[in-house]
Amino acid sequence: MQARTKLARTAAMVLVPVMALAACAGSDDDTEGADGPGTTDPADPPGNGVEAQPGFETCPEDPYNCNSGERADGGSITWLVVSGVRTWNTYSPEGGTVYGLQVLHGIYPHIGMFGPDRETFEFNMDLLAEEPQLLSEDPYSWQYVIRDEAVWDDGTPITADDFSVSWKLGTSAEAGHCEGCRSRATTNFDQIESVEGSDDGKTVTLTLKPGEVNLEWFTMFGVDDVGGGVMPAHVAAENGFDVDDPAQLGDYFEWLQETMPTFSGGPYRIVEGNLEERVIKEPNENWYGETQPTLDTYIMRIIPDQGAWVPALSNNEIHGGSPIQLIEDILRSLDQMPNVHYHIQPGPAWEHIDFNLDVPELQDVALRRAIFTAIDADNIAARIYGEMYPEYTRRTNHLFAEDHPNHVDLVTETGMGSGDTDAALAILAEAGYEFDGQTLTLDGDQIGPFRLRATSDLVRSTSMELIQADLAQIGVETNIEPTDDLGTMLFEGDYHIAQFGWSGDPAFVGLTSQYYTTGSPSNFGGFTNDDVDRLAQEELTRLDIDEAADIANEIMRIVLDEAYVLPLWDVPVFTFITDDYVNVRDNTATSLRGVYNNHEWGTAVQ
């Protein structure tokens, strides 16, 4: 006992100074942080949606070039990834998350992505020799011509074989190409009849099955498609997988799940990493693109805890990031860091309120309309975002953001989301409801109370409270029941009224079918309407994208008229970066966000 006590005491006495000294020794890189806190005026709101930050001032007008600058050779950047990644295979449900795509961007060759203007699909002309063209509408077919220079990091040409393997990896079991592949989305790939190569595999021809149409064919194999790019066929062969054998392709799928990709067909290659902490990348020396990376090292650091971001940034442990939503405390802290700039703008997600139509009382469309009319969406948004980002955008269309070319304001004219209590009461009175100033009744029976549910984050908690207050004005009682398991809540229909978000890129075909047709797994509230079902089917078979958009808007009108879903606002997001780096900016049209152009990043020339 004495010996143990002595040991403990000695260890404690020795370790403290040793650790302190070692920590104080630091490393060569640990030289800078913020220049010190500035004065904080509590009345001075955070957020520079009002006053643009240096480098980002021109983003609204020039989203492709803001924060540009000349790059110096060399340097290192550590980029924040706000959530862990479960597996390496972006084709799987576990690996194909937003964060998985972000971490692996720059490794897989891809066809392109929507640009920061949130409208134009930019083909990846580093990979492609010419812009892809639609060859035929019957059968639906298109072609990629790959540059001769496009190769994997080991010099193997990128060819049709890679596209073919990737296609098969993304198909369902029913398609028969792969046994055991668990693709996270199979609809588009299951439409494909064949992927054929010619010109030594440098020309890739994709043909859909008879009768199938994909109006947004150009997004296939893009960064936001199922796998975020193309997987290598030759790596499968090198590791003993015969990709023509469905069982062995399934084994390749699992191999990709557990194997950190050391191959690359993009500007970077991964040299070290794990899925929980960090991934280290270096430039791919065989990258064939026009703009070569100049950074020596590009580290993606996974830090799920929001509270850790600012200290890590102050401490030079991270240099930038693009989190998924605004966080007031963080913006206030960034405001005090003169060497850090950030930019706020509407993000790829939008919030909405949905009814569960399995609840008998909520099957009355008049009640639903009245409830939506009583909710003051602008007031809620202003209270949540007003100080940080007064330019927040109310969502006035279920599918199309305000800057989308097919956007039509469908909401304003309906009065839903206006917070007009009198109008809401008038709707109720007309439908036979009685309001005694406190309680709403129908035929003497009280309406509600309804279960109002959302996740318990600050934004939604605030929103729930304000919605509850709005509905109390028309006598609709609600009980707020937060959840930390949104997936189960939605899937099991365990709510009466729910607020949650959808997110996506400007591609839209098929979304109405997904959200609002009878029996669709994403139609959580059980909405059913024959016209919507018919129109959604029509939308999928149209050959003109504007016609498809018109049909989608028509569907949205019906959904709104039925008061099933009330769009609220586009969720604002922000990107931050220290002034040591240039060419870092946000692209909210893709799930990649700030890393969309990571090969263009560099340390600023001083």
Partner 1 sequence: MAVYTMRRLLAAIPVLLAASVLCFLLIDLSGDPLGDLRVAQPPVDPAVIASEEVRMYLDRSVPQRYLLWMTGIGGNGDIGLLQGKFGPSVRGPAFDIGAEIGARFLITLRLVVIALMMAIGLAIVSGVISAVKQYSTVDYLLTFTGFLALAMPAFWIGALIKEGGVWANRELGTGFATIGAASADTRGFTAWESFTDAAAHLFLPTLALMLTGYAALSRYQRASMLEVLNSDYVRLARAKGVRNRVVIRRHALRTALIPLTTVSALVIAGTIDGAIIIERIFQWRGLGDFFLESVSTNDSYSVMGWLMLSGIIVVTANLVADLLYGVLDPRIRYG
Q: Within positions 456 to 485, which residues make up the interface with partner 1, using CB under 8 A?
A: 484-485
State whether the Cα torsion 272-275-281-286 is positive or negative.
positive
The binder of partner 1 chosen from 155, 210, 487, 519 (CB under 8 A): 487
- Subset of 308-337 contacting partner 1 (CB under 8 A): 308, 311-312, 314-315, 317-318
Nearer to partner 1, 503 or 518 (CB): 503
Please say which residue, 30 or 245, places its beta carbon nearer to partner 1.
Answer: 30
For residue 186, the minimal CB distance to partner 1 (Å) is 5
**What single letter denotes the amino acid at residue 120?**
T
Whether the CB-CB separation of 464 and 480 falls below 8 Å is answered with yes
User: Does residue 23 interact with partner 1 by CB under 8 A?
Assistant: yes
**Could you tell me the smallest distance in angstroms from the CB atom of residue 96 to partner 1?**
9
Q: Contacts with partner 1 in 285-304 (CB under 8 A)?
A: 297, 299, 301, 303-304
Give Cβ neighbours of residue 84 (< 8 Å, ≥ 6 apart): 99, 275, 276, 302, 304
Of residues 371 and 507, the one with the C-beta less far from partner 1: 507
Q: Is 19 in the site for partner 1 (CB under 8 A)?
A: yes
User: Which of 524, 569, 576, 581 lies at the binding interface for partner 1 (CB under 8 A)?
Assistant: 524
Q: Which residues contact 370 (CB under 8 A, 6 or more apart)?
A: 424, 425, 427, 428, 431, 433, 474
Q: Taking contact as CB under 8 A, which single stretch among the options 31-39, 66-74, 199-207, 597-605 is the one that binds partner 1?
A: 31-39
Residue carrying the six token digits 């305000």:
402
Q: What is the DSSP letter of 151?
A: B
Q: Which is nearer to partner 1, 180 or 386 (CB)?
A: 180
What is the Cα–Cα distance from 524 to 230, expressed in whole angstroms?
32
φ and ψ of 265, to 5 deg: -120, 20
Site for partner 1 in 262-281 (CB under 8 A): 271-272, 276-278, 280
How many binding residues for partner 1 (CB under 8 A)?
81
Nearer Cβ to partner 1, position 450 or 500? 500
Q: Which of 8, 125, 135, 426 binds partner 1 (CB under 8 A)?
A: 8
For residues 466 and 556, which CB has a smaller minimum distance to partner 1 in the complex?
Answer: 556
- SS3 of residue 128 by DSSP: strand
Burial of 361 (0-12, 13-18, 19+ CB in 10 A): middle
In angstroms, the Cα distances linking 269 to 99, 261, 583 are: 17, 8, 20
List the structure tokens of 541.
């078979």
Q: Residue 24, interface with partner 1 (CB under 8 A)? A: yes
Q: Residue 567 Cβ, how far from partner 1 at the closest point, in Å?
A: 16
Q: Which of 62, 69, 72, 76 binds partner 1 (CB under 8 A)?
A: 76
Asked if 519 is part of the footprint of partner 1 (rule: CB under 8 A), the reply reads no
| Contact pick of 3, 26, 51, 519 for partner 1 (by CB under 8 A) | 26
Stretch that binds partner 1, among 103-111, 115-123, 178-186, 577-585 (CB under 8 A): 178-186
Hey, is 6 helix, strand or coil? helix
Span of 387-395, 408-416, 514-522, 549-557 interacting with partner 1 by CB under 8 A: 514-522
The rounded distance, in Å, linking the Cα atoms of 375 and 384 is 15
Pick one of 41, 70, 174, 443: the residue that binds partner 1 (CB under 8 A): 174
Q: In this chain, which stretch among 106-114, 378-386, 500-508, 545-553 interacts with partner 1, using CB under 8 A?
A: 500-508
Q: Which of 72, 129, 173, 359 binds partner 1 (CB under 8 A)?
A: 173
Q: In what order do the strands lie in the sheet with 203-208?
A: 133-137, 140-145, 203-208, 192-198
* Cβ distance to partner 1 smaller for residue 92 or 590: 92
Q: What is the largest CA-CA distance in the chain?
A: 88
- The Cβ-side half-sphere exposure at 321, using a 13 Å CA radius, reads 30
Q: Is 369 helix (H, G, I), strand (E, B) or coil?
A: helix
Asked if 34 interacts with partner 1 (CB under 8 A), we say yes
Q: How far is the CB of 321 from partner 1 (least distance, A)?
A: 13
Site for partner 1 in 350-369 (CB under 8 A): none
- Does the footprint of partner 1 cover residue 395 (CB under 8 A)? no
Per CB under 8 A, the list member of 94, 391, 465, 550 interacting with partner 1 is 94
Residue 182 binds to partner 1 (criterion: CB under 8 A): yes
H or E stretch including 400? none
In whole angstroms, the minimum distance from the beta carbon of 473 to partner 1 comes to 32
464 in Cβ contact with 493 (< 8 Å): no
Length of the chain: 606
Secondary-structure percent of the chain, ordered helix, strand, coil, rounded to 5: 30, 20, 50
Q: Tell me: does residue 1 bind partner 1 (CB under 8 A).
A: yes
By CB under 8 A, is residue 578 in contact with partner 1? Answer: no
- With residue 281 as reference, give the H or E element that holds it: strand 278-283
C-alpha dist (Å) from residue 2 to 13, 17, 422, 506, 590: 16, 23, 81, 71, 64
